[in-house]
Amino acid sequence: MTAIIQTIDTPDGAFTILADARQRVLASGWTADAEAILARLSTPPQAREGETDAAGAVAEYYGGNVAAIDAVPVAQIGTALQLAGWAALRRIAPGAPLSYTAFAAELGRPSAVRAAASICARNAPALFVPCHRVLRGDGSLGGFAWGVEVKRSLLAREAA
């Protein structure tokens, strides 16, 4: 499979999108390093530079329409729990972040807080599957693959 990779500028820095031939986002993140994006996948595809449909949604998101990312199709491969978790992440409303504990409960596994955190950590299409909307139980930001400052910026943008 050949995929398309595109890097665009955002207020939070370079943002790279990897999409398949059907324009589903496979991986994305705040970097200009294509290899860092490809490394998010267990079996990275061959990629060529090009334009992705998702880039327009990113521009809309940063332009103030934070719901623009919701309609972007993604493709993820994982366990049943991971797939359910990634789908649940897409249902977290902008400006209404959950704690890892609440996210685990949302998955029907209230004691599986570590599994919930792992689902966030293994999320390849960042922004489109908004793992940045999950916080520590005390409300602090916790980790984020693309840096806590980006996470803070995204949450502030969505709270506005």
Q: Please give the single-letter amino acid code of residue 160.
A: A
| Two tokens, residue 123 | 């999320």
How crowded is the C-beta side of 87, counted as CA atoms within 13 Å? 9
Work out the burial of residue 58: count CB atoms within 10 Å of its CB; fewer than 13 is exposed, 13-18 middle, 19 or more buried: buried
Active-site residue, selected from the candidate residues 26, 27, 127, 131: 131
Is 120 catalytic? The answer is no
The tokens for 50 are 């090009």
CA angle, 87 as apex, 83 and 93 as ends, to 5°?
155
Are 14 and 6 in contact by the 8 Å Cβ rule? The answer is no
* Active site residue ranges: 131
